[in-house]
Amino acid sequence: MPDQVPGGWILNGQKRWPANSSFADIFVVLACNTSTNQINGFIVNGGAPGLKISKIDNKMSLRVVQNCDILLEDVFVPDDAVFLAPTLSKT
């Protein structure tokens, strides 16, 4: 969930099973602002503080694909890394 702060946004949330995310240098995050019911898009640097990526091991299938868990804990994203208009609403 994104929270707007001076100069940018703070992201908190998680995603399970994104494919090959352990190789990514940047992440595209779509998040719904629950206070405005709007969807915002963010570009997150792979080395951002608070971004944690954990590879899922011992899967029954799709072993060639590196599925991961992504956790965002107070990840700061500057305003210039927002790439979708904040007026895009979730319906």
**For residue range 78-89, what is the model confidence (pLDDT) as tens digits?**
999 987 655 555
Predicted local distance difference test score (pLDDT) of residue 52: 96
**Residue 10 vs residue 20, higher pLDDT:** 10
Looking at domain 2-81, its CATH architecture is Beta Barrel (2.40)
Inform me whether the pLDDT recorded for 90 exceeds 70: no
> Could you tell me which of 2, 16, 11 has the C-alpha nearest to residue 53?
16
pLDDT tens column, 22-73 = 888 999 999 987 777 888 899 999 999 999 999 888 777 766 678 889 999 9
Structure tokens at 51: 């971004």
Distance CA 62, CA 78 (A): 35
Cα-Cα-Cα-Cα dihedral of 14, 41, 2, 37, to 10°? -110
Q: Where are the domains of the chain?
A: 2-81
Predicted local distance difference test score (pLDDT) of residue 40: 86
Predicted local distance difference test score (pLDDT) of residue 45: 95
